[in-house]
Structure 1
Amino acid sequence: MLDSRRNIALACALSALAGYVDGVGYLHLGGLFVSFMSGNSTRLGVSLAEAQWWPAAQALGLIALFVAGAAAGSLVVLGGGAERQPRLLLIEAVLLGAAALCHAFGMSGLAIAGIVLAMGLENAVFQIDGGAGLGLTYVTGALVKVGQLLAASLNGGPRWSWAPNLLLWAALVAGSAAGALAYVRINLAAIWFAAGTALALAAIVAAAVRRSRA
């Protein structure tokens, strides 16, 4: 799916957005994640082993919300239509904006729920015909592909085929750093910037879709 400059740019922008949101969420939740469910799954297992039931319930709740968001995103994709990418991004922007509003009114729990749903939904942006698609809120798979494609390039394959996946990883790291810096300064209100970014991306992608159909 990272087969064109447009797709690479959009994927990196969304990975940076996910990293930003996860940086904010990680600091707010004190070590749990809003988009990295492998980390939450590990925390769930460790908490269960240590009989720490409330941390285990928190991790499980975040995982369930993320799955619900991913399912909602897939339903949008399965609905078809050329506008599904901008539609998904618009829904993500609305969820993040609602989360920021919830925080402004002192409902941080609801804010986190909206953020996690948005992160699950984002992973459907590059989903095609109900397939697994491209993970945008986690980069373990991208790093595996960097290693595999790097080995292929050393064995006579395409020289730079690994670079897009490395860019995806770098974008998430940069976004995480930006999110952490924003959270330190303005707490969960930092999500307003994420909502605005998602809305801008929705508008850009919608315009690109219209141009391609003209």
Structure 2
Amino acid sequence: MLDSRRNILLACALSALAGYVDGIGFLHLGGLFVSFMSGNSTRMGVSLAEGDWQPAAQAFGLIVLFVVGAAIGSLIVRSRSRYCQCWILLVEAALLAAAGLCHVRGFPQAAIAAIVLAMGLENAVFQIEGSGGLGLTYVTGALVKIGQLMAVALTGGPRFGWVPNLLLWAALVTGSVIGAGVYLRINLAAIWFAAAVAFALGAMLAMGARARKD
């Protein structure tokens, strides 16, 4: 899926967006994540072992919302429209904008719910019907692929096949730095910038898809 410059740039932009949003969510939730469900699953397990039910329930709720978002994204993919990537990003933008509105209206829990749904949804951007697609809001898989493709390079394979996955990881880290920095200045209102980026990316993809059709 990281087989063209267009896909690499789009994946890195979306990974940076996810890192930005996750940086905001991590600070707002005090150590839980809005896109990294492995971390939330570990936190839930530790809390259950300690008998600390409230954090365990909170982590579980985030996991459920993320799965629902991923399911919504997959339903959009199954529509088989040439505009499905555009629709995924525009729905994501709408959810992030809804989160911004919920923050303004004083409903922080609803804001977080909308953000988590958006992060689950984003992972369907590179999904091909019948497959799991490319994870964009977490980079454990990308790090594994970096190591695996480095081994391939050392044994005579493509010398730089690992670079796209490194860029994906670097984009997420960069996004999280920016997101955390903005959150520390304007709190959850930082999510408006993420909504604007998602909308811009969705609009660009829509124009590209229309141009290819013409």
Normalised TM-score (structure 1): 0.99
Partner amino acid, structure 2, of 1:116: V
Task: Give percent identity, aligned residues only.
Answer: 71
Alignment map for 1:60-139 (pairs within 5 Å) = 60-139=60-139
In the other structure, the counterpart of 1:31 is: 31
Q: Structure 1: which 5+ runs fail to align?
A: none
For 1:78 and 1:205, locate their aligned partners in 2 and report how far apart those are by CA, in whole Å.
18
State the distance in 1 between where 2:93 and 2:116 align.
12
| Cα root mean square deviation, aligned | 0.5
Contact 1:150–1:162 under 8 Å retained in 2: yes
Distance 1:130 1:33 in 2: 27
Runs of 4+ in 1 over 3 A off after TM superposition: none
For 1:104, give the aligned amino acid. Answer: V
Q: Aligned equivalents of 2:96 and 2:137: distance in 1?
A: 15
Instruction: Give the CA deviation at 1:130.
Output: 2.8
Measure how far apart 1:59 and its partner are: 0.2
Amino acid across the alignment from 1:144: V
After the TM superposition, which residues 188-199 of structure 1 pair with which residues of structure 2 at under 5 Å, given as runs? 188-199=188-199
Q: Distance in 1 between matches of 2:130 and 2:213?
A: 23
> What TM-score do the two structures reach when normalised by structure 2?
0.99
CA distance in 1 between counterparts of 2:181 and 2:130 reads 36
Question: Match of 1:166?
Answer: 166
Residue identity matched to 1:122 = E
Instruction: Give 5+ residue unaligned stretches, structure 2.
Output: none
Following the alignment from structure 2 to structure 1, what is the Cα–Cα distance between the partners of residues 182 and 24?
A: 7
